[in-house]
């Protein structure tokens, strides 16, 4: 069964702190996505990771992928209030067009 698990599901943190969101998936995947969603809004693509050891960074967010461990991380450095949102990881396979989402991590950054 295809499973994509994120943790934590809810995170409240103070500005200036660092934290990591974890995404585990159950079967070998070809690509791993990270998305951001603000309340009542659609999903914004953050990163696409395609290979083992891939690391991508944009601003205070850095995503990495370990395909052997079936694990991706989204690291937040020196968090700011504007990063408050729900973050989803999603996993896709080249064999078909299916892309499955994790449950999401609701991130609340306190000013």
Partner 1 sequence: DTEVTQTPKHLVMGMTNKKSLKCEQHMGHRAMYWYKQKAKKPPELMFVYSYEKLSINESVPSRFSPECPNSSLLNLHLHALQPEDSALYLCASSQEVVLIGEKLFFGSGTQLSVL
Bridge partners, 44 (sequence order):
36
- 41 lies in the binding site for partner 1 (CB under 8 A): yes
Q: Among residues 19 and 101, whose Cβ is nearest to partner 1?
A: 101
Contact 76, 11 (CB under 8 A): no
Contact 23, 6 (CB under 8 A): yes
Q: Among residues 56 and 80, whose Cβ is nearest to partner 1?
A: 56
Contact 50, 44 (CB under 8 A): no
- 34 lies in the binding site for partner 1 (CB under 8 A): no
SS3 82: helix
Query: Exactly one of 58, 68, 97, 111 binds partner 1 (CB under 8 A); which one?
Result: 97
Count of residues in contact with partner 1, rule CB under 8 A: 25
- 29 lies in the binding site for partner 1 (CB under 8 A): no
């Amino acid at each position: 069964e295809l499973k994509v698990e994120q943790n934590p599901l809810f995170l409240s943190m103070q500005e200036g702190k660092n934290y990591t969101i974890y995404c585990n998936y159950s079967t070998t995947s070809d690509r791993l996505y990270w998305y951001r969603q603000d309340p009542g809004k659609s999903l914004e693509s953050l990163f696409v990771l395609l290979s083992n050891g891939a690391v991508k960074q944009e601003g205070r967010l850095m995503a990495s992928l370990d395909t052997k461990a079936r694990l991706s991380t989204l690291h937040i450095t020196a968090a700011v209030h504007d990063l408050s949102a729900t973050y989803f990881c999603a996993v896709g396979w080249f064999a078909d067009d299916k892309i499955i989402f994790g449950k999401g991590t609701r991130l609340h950054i306190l000013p």
